[in-house]
Amino acid sequence: MRKIAFVLIAVAVAAGVFHIATAPGHAAQEAEPVFVDRMIPGYRDWVLISVAREEGELNDIRAVLGNDVAIKAYREGKPFPEGAIIARIAWSYDASEENNKAFGRAQSYVAGAPKNGVQFMVKDSKKYAATGGWGYAHFNDGKSAEVALLKTCFPCHAAIKERDYVFTRYAP
């Protein structure tokens, strides 16, 4: 009985060692990604990184803001350090009759009601190792989106690995 137990343990240990030796990082690769599920306060006071317009189903006008850590990295052209956070807010894309009247022609579109939620990328290389070192978040009316939706963030951002998975460039 003792001998059998010893053999089983020995096999298990050997298997474990073998596993580690041949597939380093395997555990991290298969780890379930972790997401940000608590609203980040104060982001509406952050400095503007840039603005954008999405047509199609999103059909919004949007702004990307950064906390101090993110803005400093952008401005200095340095890698994003731990603690950098990027926020994306968006609004409906509304023609402005008021502005058009002032300009004398139909050319003006402004931000209407908030739309398409608020999104964040939070840099924490260890905590969010499974998604490139960034934790992704999406809130609708302050409520976190389901994990199924959050899982769709990284596969797109993976395309832009050379800029640390961040699409938005700083607009001077």
Query: Binding residues for a copy of itself, per CB under 8 A?
Result: 44-45, 47-48, 50-56, 58, 61-63, 65, 89, 91, 93, 96, 98-99, 101-103, 105, 107-111, 114, 156-157, 159-160, 167-169, 171-172
How many angstroms separate the most distant Cα atoms in the chain? Answer: 94
Q: CB nearer to a copy of itself: give 30 or 76.
A: 76
Q: Give Cβ neighbours of residue 122 (< 8 Å, ≥ 6 apart).
A: 36, 40, 84, 85, 128, 134, 135, 136, 137
Q: How far is the CB of 157 from a copy of itself (least distance, A)?
A: 8
Q: CB nearer to a copy of itself: give 4 or 113.
A: 113
Q: CB nearer to a copy of itself: give 89 or 121.
A: 89
Tokens 């990604």 found at:
33
Please give the helix or strand (H or E) that residue 8 lies within, else none. helix 2-22
Q: CB nearer to a copy of itself: give 32 or 55.
A: 55
Q: How far is the CB of 21 from a copy of itself (least distance, A)?
A: 37
Q: How far is the CB of 43 from a copy of itself (least distance, A)?
A: 11
Q: Give Cβ neighbours of residue 118 (< 8 Å, ≥ 6 apart).
A: 43, 87, 88, 89, 138, 139
Reading phi first (left if > 0) and then psi (alpha if -120 to 50, else beta), residue 52 is in beta
Q: How far is the CB of 170 from a copy of itself (least distance, A)?
A: 9
Cβ atoms of 132 and 160 within 8 Å: the answer is no
Q: How far is the CB of 18 from a copy of itself (least distance, A)?
A: 39
Q: CB nearer to a copy of itself: give 30 or 45.
A: 45
Cβ atoms of 60 and 93 within 8 Å: the answer is yes
